[in-house]
Structure formats: C-alpha cells, structure tokens
C-alpha cells in the first residue's frame, strides 16, 4: 500500500469510528494510535507466554451473550470482498493493516451482530502469518503442528458479552479440524481481561517475555516463571515488575 493509500485508509477508518462509536471513542483511538507510534520508537514491554492444547471442548461453555450472531472466517482479500458484498461491515475499513495480513496468510475470525462487526481475532498457520499477527519473536513450532493467535479486538459497545472467549473457541476448533496440536500467544501482564478469557481454556503459561526497543535496536528475552510453568491464571506481578501498560 502506498503512503497516500495508507492515509486514505486511515481517513476512512476514522470516519467509521466516528459514525459508529462517536467522537469520544474516536479520541481514545487517536490516543491509542499515538501511543502505538511512540512504541515504534521506544518501548519496554513484558508478556506472559501461553500455550493452548487443541482438544475437544464443549461449545456451550463459550457461547457469547448475544441474541444472534454470525461467524465468518476470512482467509484472503477476495473472501473479504465477498463478505462485504453480502452486506456485512468490511473488516478492512476498521483495520487498515488487514489487507497486508491477508496477503501474508493470516486468517481473520469475524463475529457479526447483524451486519455490524462486533469482534475479530487473527490466526497464523505459518511463519509468514505470524509476522502479520504477532511480531514478538517467541518460538512457534509450525512444523510440529503448532499455530499462534493474536490481534484480538472487540468493538467497545460489544465488550463484556463473552466474545473474546467465543472467538478463541472458534479459532481452536478451526485448528483442531486441521490436525494442529497446540497454539501459542503472548498476553501483556497488565491485560487482566485477556488473562481471564484465556483461563477458560486452562492454558499452560510457560514463561515471561521481555521486549525492548529503541529505534532500530531491539531485544527479546524469555525467563521462566518464579515457581515454574503453571496452568489457568498466571501468578500476580507486583507493580514494580509491570513495566508497561500496553497489550
């Protein structure tokens, strides 16, 4: 995408946010975007590292609290075009990087309430897709039937309805139907809401990743949990250990 194309896409995304979520949410989005730009220059971040086993699960435990919804799994920009032609909100109007993610092989799991996009989560089945879904350099053994997830987002007015856990359930079922054994991801240590959703799947939390960046320099270090790997919810960190407020 050219610079002019990116600016045009950002302008369209801004108008969508203002129209659907109002000026307050738009200002919050602008603030988050400025924070993101700052993190491209310098950041210190700390993440719990998760591994989920891909096993059969009872779907009734993960149903969202909506009267009706529709899940669409989108693998490419061509499929995104088809979904938009059917009258559903175009994911790419909300997220300007979505076309590039599709081009790299990432898969989007979109939950629609009516025709409105309520939730999206991404899945990577290979190294190229991982670069589009989560650039943190934690290990994923794609050659051994492992995948990774990331970029999970619920629209503000649909939060608190169980869409995150439902979205993860559908991603794990997709992997199970294709013979994958496990899936990895990283969750920032301050993101309690995401940790609660993950705990519903009894994951293995196997370490803490430290990511630091300044301009073109960056480092990544993984350390074990103080008492070794654990399942479900991670151990609490003290305030002094929490180096960042970003996901």
CA proximity to 125, closest of 105, 150, 139? 105
* Distances from the Cα of 144 to the Cα of 60, 129, 134, angstroms: 30, 16, 19
216 three-state secondary structure: coil
pLDDT in tens, 56-96: 999 999 999 999 999 999 999 999 999 999 999 999 999 99
The CA distance from 7 to 15, in Å, is: 12
C-beta of residue 47 within 8 angstroms of C-beta of residue 211: yes
The CA distance from 184 to 226, in Å, is: 20
Average pLDDT, the chain: 86
pLDDT in tens, 17-31: 555 566 655 555 445
Give the pLDDT of residue 75: 98
Torsions phi, psi for 106 (to 5 deg): -75, 155
Give the pLDDT of residue 235: 85
Share of the chain above pLDDT 70, in %: 79
Residue 236 pLDDT level (bands cut at 50, 70, 90): confident
Give the pLDDT of residue 43: 86
Looking at CATH, the fold of the domain delimited by 44-241 is given as: Aminopeptidase (3.40.630)
Higher-pLDDT residue of 212 and 20 is 212
**Has residue 36 got a pLDDT over 80?**
no
Give the pLDDT of residue 241: 47
155 three-state secondary structure: coil
**Has residue 239 got a pLDDT over 50?**
no
Torsions phi, psi for 18 (to 5 deg): -60, -45
Say which range, 12-26, 37-51, 84-98, 207-221, has the weakest mean pLDDT.
Answer: 12-26
C-beta of residue 133 within 8 angstroms of C-beta of residue 148: yes
């Amino acid at each position: 995408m050219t610079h002019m194309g990116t600016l045009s896409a950002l302008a369209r995304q801004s108008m969508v946010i203002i129209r659907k979520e109002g000026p307050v949410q738009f200002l919050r989005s602008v603030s988050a975007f400025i924070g993101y730009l700052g993190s491209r220059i310098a950041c210190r971040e700390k993440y719990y590292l998760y591994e989920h086993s891909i096993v059969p699960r009872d779907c009734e435990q993960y149903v969202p609290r909506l009267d009706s919804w529709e899940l669409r799994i989108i693998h490419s920009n061509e499929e995104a075009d088809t979904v938009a032609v059917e009258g559903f909100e175009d994911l790419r109007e909300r997220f300007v990087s979505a076309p590039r993610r599709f081009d790299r092989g990432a898969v989007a799991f979109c939950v629609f309430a009516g025709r409105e996009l309520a939730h999206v989560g991404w899945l990577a089945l290979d190294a190229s897709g991982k670069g589009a879904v989560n650039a943190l350099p934690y290990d994923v053994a794609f050659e051994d039937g492992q995948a990774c997830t990331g970029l999970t987002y619920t629209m503000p007015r649909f939060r608190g309805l169980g869409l995150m856990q439902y979205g993860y359930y559908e991603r794990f079922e997709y992997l199970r139907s294709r013979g994958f054994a496990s899936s990895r991801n990283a969750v920032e240590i301050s993101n309690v809401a995401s940790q609660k959703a993950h705990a519903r799947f009894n994951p293995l939390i196997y370490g803490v990743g430290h990511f630091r960046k300044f301009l073109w320099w960056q480092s990544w270090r993984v350390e074990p949990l103080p008492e070794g790997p654990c399942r479900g919810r991670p151990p609490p960190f003290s305030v002094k250990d929490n180096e960042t407020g970003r996901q």
